[in-house]
Amino acid sequence: MTQKETRPEILQPSAYSLRFMPQRLTRAIDWHGHLSFAAWLVELMEPKSIVELGVFRGDSLSTFSQAVKECKVNCEITGVDTWGGDDTTGRYNEEVYHDLKDFFATNFPSTTLFRGLFDDALSTFEDNSIEILHIDGCHHYEAVKHDFETWLPKLSKDKGVVLFHDISVAIEGFGAKQYWNEIKDSYPSFSFSHSNGLGVLLVGRNQVKALAELTQDAQALDYARAIFELSGSRFHHLAKEKWWRDEANKHAESLSYTTEQLGANLSNMVSEHVANYLNNMDLTASLPTVEAPKSIIKRIADKF
């Protein structure tokens, strides 16, 4: 490698960020490509406060929580959601929330799950307090814009970073891409295009060196994109593998149960037919002959 090609600092990510293995990988795979980056971001920034707007099944919130725990960072983490869905994410039932609640109670009890509207949670945070804000709620343009503008005063003026998910999605009803294109030049920023896209907006004045470098050095950003896309892609495939395995086990259990039930029903049916047949026939005349039991069995079998 020539002197001109000297690797930027970002090209030497920590062993932790490259070896990171998330505890939670559900079938909500859209964020999986960014989990390595999220773990690295926590390790790099050592934030005091993380807020996620739009949690759904909680894979990204779990990664933030896991990284905070493993990196021994003193950080308050809050996930805000109604856990009811909307017309851009689809509606979902109570099972989603209860499964997530049980997971966090067991693995990351210090992470707060705030069930309610984003605006309802605003008053629980002081201005200038949040260092990482992840916006991933309703994806309508007006909703994304509203979420950023209403939560901006809560962000740290020193280290505040905002993550916008789904900035690569260009389908009807999704406005994160449009809003990102409007806001990205108002602050230092960079983005990833994989896994539906992730925009990183540096609203704080004093950012860590590696983050600032990604907003200024195209080569560093290109390498960072390749590194985190590659390292994050394995989680996408692991989640798919887990889902197919779970589905196979579920169908195997269902088939086993059905087979058992079929066997039990068939056994009951045969027993009932045998009992009825024997009750309706005169066995006295048959008892002296050796052939009688065989003829009874044959006559019963002929009925099937």
- Residue 150 sits at φ, ψ, to 5 deg, of -75, -30
Q: Give pLDDT, residue 239.
A: 80
Determine contact, residues 201/162, Cβ cutoff 8 Å: yes
Task: Give residue 13's pLDDT band: very low, low, confident or very high (50, 70, 90).
Answer: confident
CA distances in angstroms from 149 to 87, 119, 173, listed in the order given: 22, 11, 20
Determine contact, residues 148/168, Cβ cutoff 8 Å: no
Which residue, 136, 188, 143, is CA-closest to 165?
A: 136
- Ranked by mean pLDDT, the top range of 24-33, 81-90, 121-130, 266-275 is 121-130
pLDDT tens digits for 213-249? 999 999 999 999 999 999 888 998 888 787 677 667 7
The two three-digit tokens of residue 42, written as one number: 């926590």
Which residue, 24, 88, 79, 81, is CA-closest to 50?
A: 79
Query: How far from each other are the two terminal CA atoms of the chain, in whole angstroms?
Result: 81
If 0-12 CB within 10 Å is exposed, 13-18 middle and 19+ buried, where does residue 91 land? exposed
Task: Give residue 284's pLDDT band: very low, low, confident or very high (50, 70, 90).
Answer: very low
Burial 43-64 (b: 16+ CB within 10 A, else e): bbbebebbbbbbbbbbbbbbbb
Rounded CA separation 94/5 (Å): 53
**143 vs 11, residue with greater confidence:** 143
Determine contact, residues 108/66, Cβ cutoff 8 Å: yes
Q: Give pLDDT, residue 111.
A: 98
Greatest Cα pair distance in the chain: 108
Distance of CA 161 to the CA centre of its chain: 22
Neighbours of 79 (CB within 10 A): 27
Residue with tokens 């692991």: 238
Which residue, 99, 84, 39, 91, is CA-closest to 66?
A: 39
pLDDT tens digits for 40-80? 999 999 999 999 999 999 999 999 999 999 999 999 999 99
pLDDT at 286 over 50: no
Percent of the chain scored above 90 by pLDDT?
Answer: 66
pLDDT tens digits for 122-163? 999 999 999 999 999 999 999 999 999 999 999 999 999 999
pLDDT tens digits for 156-172? 999 999 999 999 999 98
User: Average pLDDT for residues 95-110, to the nearest whole number?
Assistant: 97
